Structure 1
Amino acid sequence: MASNVSIEQNSGKLPWNERLSYGISDFACSFSFNLVGTYLMYFYTDVFGITASAVGTLMLVARVIDAIDGPIWGILIDHTHTRWGKSRPYFLWFNAPFTFFSILCFTTPDLPMTWKIVWAYVTYIGVDVLYSAINIPLTSILPSMTTDPKERVLLSTIRSLFSNFGGTLISVIALPLVTLIGGKDQSRGFFWVAVLGASVFFVLYLVAFFNLREHVQTRSSQQALPIKESLKALKRNWPWLIVVLEIFIYWIGMSAKGQVTMYFFKYNLNAPGLIPLALFFNAAGIISVFLTPYVVGKLGKKNTMLAGLFIGIIGQAILGIGAHMLNIPIVIIGIIVGNFGNGFVGALPAVLLSDAVDYGEWKNGVRAEGIVTSASSFTAKFGMGLGGAITGWLLALGQYVPNKTQSASSLLSIEFNYVWIPLIALFIGFMLVVFYNLTAEKEKQMNQDLAIKHQRENDEYSM
């Protein structure tokens, strides 16, 4: 019997309005959420007045909760079937709630210390859970937009370019705006900068919702998958396992580094005025992101990722030399080299996870975009939280005291977070990617087999 529901297949190029809309969606995420990732620990300790150890514990607790909510969002996506698709509705449904909580994070009610900590728990966990609700669909929608490997790399590159630009922009302008708006009242300044970031997010995510489409729909993708069936997509899915472990380790290092950037320049280098400049050099990653499609065409995805991690390791080593010598020019060189390598690393996980969606279907006969790609948000945020927890605990161990001249142990704890934890994480990530086993030849065979499978399913569906 013929069905009224059409099955769409887009195995090729997408129009530029969709490509750019996919990009601005992550510009919106980075512009709003990077304010949290870069400044929230400093805001909690030096503005809101919470101890570093309490902040570190908060970030770990939030990550434990993420161990639950990340997969839940993935399962919900696999069970979602609307006229807008599976992933796209979440752009609309959770836009306003995330906007609201991202402002609450930088709100400073006059409360006793215990209730300040409670406020921080509620607002930070809230924004974190809601970020999963709007960011996991951004990854899960990619395999539903196109099956063309080159188009996926291009889309991920555009997304990473916009993400890097958004994150760099808010990082650079945040502190000057805090001072411009709040003067000596940093709490007022941070609040209105959070309002700015949230407003930009709200508008751009609506634009993304209206312009994006889920073109790749098969008979199986239009059916609700039981949880047990969804999990079959992960069975012996070694490319998926390698990618999610690499994401987890990478973000432990990057979170530890990002959380103490302000501390390092303010206390170790005694150059707080250079913080916006140092964050501006994150833009070095934009160059490598732009080059990613070309480099992938020459080296392949795995070798491009390895190259990015290796360059990141070199950058951190240079940074370590500069930190030891308290030499600002060497520190800046290390930042530039490291961020150039990080651009390659950041551009590829969404592509590799889309490949893992295909691999799970190829090996196990189950296509579960939600559960497979939700791991990227879960592991990234779990890594961020663990990195933040390590940072808070090390600062407490080093006896960090806000807005005072720091002891030698405090300065050492800041340096360890800024230099050595990221270096260790990059090295472990490099070793993991060495074992990535989805070769170009295997990927080509996989895509051919899946194209035949989808065509057969669609022919049966239209009968």
Structure 2
Amino acid sequence: MDTTMNATKSQAAQGTSVRLGRREKFGYGAGDLASNLSWNLVGGFLLYYYTDVAGLPAAIPGTLFLVARLLDAVIDPVIGVMVDRTAGRWGKARPYLLFASVPFGVVGVLTFTVPDLGENGKLVYAFLTYLTLGLLFSLVNVPYSAMLPMMTRDPHERMQMGGLRAIGSSVGSIIVTATTTPFVAWLGSGNEQRGWTVATIVYGVLSVGFFAITFATCKERYALAADEERIGLGAALRTLWGNLPWKVTFVYGVINFVRLNLVLGVTVYFALAVLHKPWAISVLLPLVSGTMILGGVVAPPYYRKFGKRRGNLQALAVGFVLWAAMYPAEGTFPLFLALYIVATFAIGVSMVSMFTMTADTVEYQQWRFGTRNEGLLSSGISFATKVGSAVGASAVAYGLALAGYHPGDTSDAALLAIRVMFYGLPLLLLAGQAAAMLFWDLDGRHERMRDEIDRAADGEEV
């Protein structure tokens, strides 16, 4: 350990010994349910909304997704530092859930309500609302992610929390992906735009409510005082460069969210143009999240047995093989669906670990550099989400545009592009995630790091 930890002995002891109750654990999981009621609506349907409802050419949303998300992503480290420097009666992270959730819900509605302002006007409106939605997502999601290492230092408790977070995320995704298409049709009664506006109002109200539950039930127990985290942004970023587990988590997260958003974005077109089964949209998209619920239940004992490195490599290998097997099974939908379910389950198990990997990097940061920087480190996950969303969604839009896609008239070139984006690119990205995971080296080191942190807090030589 290079530096002496500044936290007090009582903080360390409290953070280690506290066992979280079910109410608090489920309250934490409600936060990702809240996020995904809005964010997965964007990932699964915004491209379709822009092209088929708002009437924007496919290449324009592609550029919009890429530019807006990359501009938006650079703010995440700043928000992370803001969290680290926040001090108040509600803690460092919880205030953001209270005050940013309402604007997040409102702008989610505005994003799916593009007025008829002409092509240039609609583009400007779409850019501003999409960019603002991403900023507000960071203002709730970075603090939300930062809360986990503040709540407990126990790695098994954190894995349970990560599992519940994955379950909350999945429930939100299922609600959105399974109900949105019929919900919009029912609410719109022939006016699709009205259907989208009313549906997003409902999702926005639910999102705000679930964030309020997280705020009310969760507590921050283990965190350095804000004045002890006041190092410059440049110095803080340099410590990230020396935090190998964080770099692994960041790369793993970027690749994961590129793959996830690619699959979410192309599945609507795949079901319509390749499978010729419009109803399959409300089957395939919810299964991405539904299998993650089971993954959230299985992940804690699974990773306790195998560790994050070996456990991830095994899960990704299974997902890779079964995803590749889906292509020759495409013509037999029951077999295709069975392979899809098991593949997405295996991949979902790997995604659960990512939430707790960030918490592990906070512990490493404290052991290695003497500062926790929960906000800054957690901003990496939000940054990965943004970059992954930008690259994945824009890849679908550009792929469709280059292949000459037109709504209701899918050419052979467009069909080929859709298949490549649904089958081939996700396989390459799964291989990339496995390559990143080869560098993870924290398995089995948690007790040693905690012991040395606590001894440093007591003023002992480490």
Cα deviation, residue 46, structure 1 = 0.7
Residues 263 and 233 of structure 1: CA distance in aligned 2, closer, same or farther (over 3 Å)? same
Within 5 A, what are the aligned runs for 1:42-441?
Answer: 42-218=48-224, 223-282=229-288, 283-323=290-330, 326-402=331-407, 404-440=408-444
Cα deviation, residue 15, structure 1 = 2.0
Q: Deviations over 1:406-431 (max 9, x none)?
A: 10001111111111111110111111
Residues 333 and 307 of structure 1: CA distance in aligned 2, closer, same or farther (over 3 Å)? same
Cα deviation, residue 232, structure 1 = 4.2
Structure 2: distance between partners of 1:454 and 1:321? 59
1:220–1:367 contact (8 Å) kept in structure 2 = no
**Equivalent position SS for 1:36:** helix
Cα deviation, residue 184, structure 1 = 2.9
Structure 1: distance between partners of 2:225 and 2:111? 42
Cα deviation, residue 228, structure 1 = 3.3
Gaps of 5+ in 1: 1-5, 458-463
Letter in 2 for 1:137: P
Cα deviation, residue 444, structure 1 = 2.2
**Equivalent position SS for 1:437:** coil
Structure 1: distance between partners of 2:38 and 2:318? 28
Letter in 1 for 2:453: L
Cα deviation, residue 139, structure 1 = 0.9
**Which residue is 2:450 aligned to?**
447
**Equivalent position SS for 1:144:** helix
Residues 223 and 380 of structure 1: CA distance in aligned 2, closer, same or farther (over 3 Å)? closer
Cα deviation, residue 377, structure 1 = 0.8
Cα deviation, residue 127, structure 1 = 0.6
Cα deviation, residue 220, structure 1 = 7.1
Q: Deviations over 1:40-61 (max 9, x none)?
A: 0000001110011001000100
Structure 1: distance between partners of 2:36 and 2:73? 22
Cα deviation, residue 285, structure 1 = 2.1
Residues 414 and 218 of structure 1: CA distance in aligned 2, closer, same or farther (over 3 Å)? same
**Equivalent position SS for 1:263:** helix
Relative CO higher for 1 or 2, CA cutoff 8 Å, sep ≥ 6?
A: 2
Number of matched residues?
Answer: 448
Cα deviation, residue 307, structure 1 = 2.2
Letter in 1 for 2:325: I
Q: Deviations over 1:184-229 (max 9, x none)?
A: 3221111111111101001111121122111013457754333234
Letter in 2 for 1:284: T
Cα deviation, residue 456, structure 1 = 4.3
Q: Percent identity?
A: 30
Structure 1: distance between partners of 2:343 and 2:285? 12
What TM-score, normalized by structure 2, do the two folds share? 0.93
1:80–1:224 contact (8 Å) kept in structure 2 = no
Deviates more, 1:273-282 or 1:292-301: 273-282
Letter in 2 for 1:321: P
Structure 1: distance between partners of 2:459 and 2:110? 51
Q: Deviations over 1:265-291 (max 9, x none)?
A: 111111112211222322122112211
What TM-score, normalized by structure 1, do the two folds share? 0.93
2:241–2:247 contact (8 Å) kept in structure 1 = no
2:320–2:430 contact (8 Å) kept in structure 1 = yes
Letter in 2 for 1:243: T
Cα deviation, residue 155, structure 1 = 0.8
Q: 1:29 aligns with which of 27, 30, 35?
A: 35
Gaps of 5+ in 2: 1-9
2:250–2:381 contact (8 Å) kept in structure 1 = yes
**Equivalent position SS for 1:161:** helix
Aligned-CA RMSD value: 1.7
Structure 1: distance between partners of 2:60 and 2:258? 19
Letter in 1 for 2:307: G
Q: Deviations over 1:3-27 (max 9, x none)?
A: xxx9573213112221111011111
1:318–1:333 contact (8 Å) kept in structure 2 = no
Structure 2: distance between partners of 1:221 and 1:15? 30
Structure 1: distance between partners of 2:179 and 2:327? 26
